[in-house]
Amino acid sequence: MKLSQIQSDKLWGEDGPYSEVHLIIETRILDDKETRKFIIVEQNINPLSFEIIKKNSDKFKNDTPIMQLLEHAEYRGQKFGYVVCAFMKEYRESGDLIEGQECVDFSKEMLIRIHKFVMSYLGI
């Protein structure tokens, strides 16, 4: 299938879907000192993939992570796409960062499932 320029732009990738997973260490500073740190995992899903998955959500009714993504993601415009916080925890010990990385790995697997479906759907 030949994609229109609008569709291609909404995929973010040149030849296929592109999305992102961010592992963030947020440092909170109050007055003149650091007070706490948090580990955050966010997913940015390209708009077209999200719209295709939402339109075909019946095919994902048994895929809880994708259904949760559809329920909680927020559209933040073409530049950021659909954004969802997949994980947030106060960073107190090294095991917390390991837990955040496990969420990153899980998020990558989920986004790959989404991209595979979208590529098949679009015939690309």
Structural domain for 36, as ranges = 5-122
Name the pTM for this structure. 0.91
Task: Flag whether pLDDT at 121 surpasses 80.
Answer: yes
Task: DSSP letter for 3, please.
Answer: P
Q: Is the distance from CB of 25 to CB of 11 less than 8 angstroms?
A: no
* Residue-wise pLDDT tens digits, 44-72: 999 999 999 999 999 999 999 999 999 99
Secondary structure class of 44 (helix, strand, coil) = strand
Q: Where is 69: in which H helix or E strand? A: helix 64-72
CB atoms < 10 A from the CB of 54, how many?
Answer: 14
Q: Where is 121: in which H helix or E strand? A: helix 94-122
Res. 2 pLDDT band, cuts 50 70 90: confident
Total domain count, the chain: 1
Task: Flag whether pLDDT at 1 surpasses 80.
Answer: no
